[in-house]
Structure 1
């Protein structure tokens, strides 16, 4: 693996310092090296399996952060906010703060793929979180530097409620409980005088209407319906 080269060891230690972790941090360097190795470099020794673990790690870290720092937030809001915190866009944004692409071993052809850059950075970031988590089997190497980013993102979301992704939260809930996705039925309505909402959306699950909402666009109407449905859920459907 690439860790055998002194330059790579120095590079990874530099990243740990950027995260603000002490030199004595119990990092398993071979895992961190693997987390920052793209599949275009090695078809067997790459970050794909660690990314799978990292997906769970970021969800746990975000949930713990919200539980500790926003105890008055309703559980429905927890899920809606977390769906943004764990999105590729948010993770790639945090990764960029640490110039993570500089540490990622990736082929020149993949690096030139600008359309895939956000996804690539998010995947590498999740893999890095997995490497740090598996180094101690706790979040002690994650929370100290990640929480500040989560706090900034949550405050932005709370200042702009329209950013909350209730569709993603409802989808996550329905998959967890029923292994299926909700369906949306959208119709265009005749706009009343002074009204801006042009679309009416209903969200259905297993033959039952969970909620409805309206909006100026199909996307906005579906989001409004998802919000109504998600906040109305008190117990599993019959």
Structure 2
């Protein structure tokens, strides 16, 4: 597979590496180094370990300053929601990181390029790489704030859409199910369209770069429609 220019990725990241070897390592899966028998290039794993620590520190400090009235348990729960695997995978797709990951042929065939676990780990690895290259936390912090912590309330609401919709529907004696409607695009950049149903009634549809993301978007769209209908009924009563 041909990979896009790494310069384009740096433009998206908002940071130009002095040592491109670090970024190359961050984008390299162990399946690639094992298959190619490359001993001069590390995989992302050590950088992911470092990036995870940097992300935890930056996100903790951010939440501590932003929510002075929240208790430790509330901040821990909020941080977990913001930096959980699906959330980080979503951010990685926003950066189009999946186009740059070096995967072994077997992992490629198994859909590794769209795997939430791999994408979230690669994102954390790029944070670790940036930390080492820049020699401190200032540049990684800008990167994290732009792509991961830019809208904490909106992200949490989005991540909780499926749970909120299920809770609402169950109160009315129903249950939500999701059906895949369409898959499109090349293997490394697929788009999924999913519909949310209650019984045979379609509530809404959503698109995403993974089935999970599409389901969340369908749930969010359904909740928006429910809220709009509720507002209309309220206004009619007034």
Correspondence for 1:38 among 29, 41, 57: 29
Report the alpha carbon displacement of residue 70 of structure 1 after superposing the two structures with TM: 2.6
Which 5+ residue runs of structure 1 have no aligned equivalent? 1-6, 165-193, 197-238
1: CA distance, partners of 2:107 / 2:127? 22
Which 5+ residue runs of structure 2 have no aligned equivalent? 164-170, 174-238
Q: How many residues are treated as equivalent by the alignment?
A: 156
Q: Residue 84 of structure 1 corresponds to which residue in structure 2?
A: 81
For residues 111-154 of structure 1, what are the alpha-carbon distances to aligned partners after superposition, in whole Å with 9 as ceiling and x for unaligned?
23237711110111111110011112322222223214313234
Cα contact 1:27–1:132 (8 A) shared by 2: no
| Counterpart secondary structure, 2:57 | helix
| Counterpart secondary structure, 2:70 | coil
Report the alpha carbon displacement of residue 160 of structure 1 after superposing the two structures with TM: 8.4
Correspondence for 1:12 among 3, 6, 31: 6
Cα contact 2:82–2:156 (8 A) shared by 1: no
Cα contact 1:92–1:121 (8 A) shared by 2: yes
2: CA distance, partners of 1:113 / 1:161? 28
Q: Residue 99 of structure 2 corresponds to which residue in structure 1?
A: 102
TM-score, normalization by structure 2: 0.56
TM-score, normalization by structure 1: 0.56
Q: Residue 138 of structure 1 corresponds to which residue in structure 2?
A: 136
Q: Give the superposed CA RMSD.
A: 3.0
Q: Residue 118 of structure 1 corresponds to which residue in structure 2?
A: 116
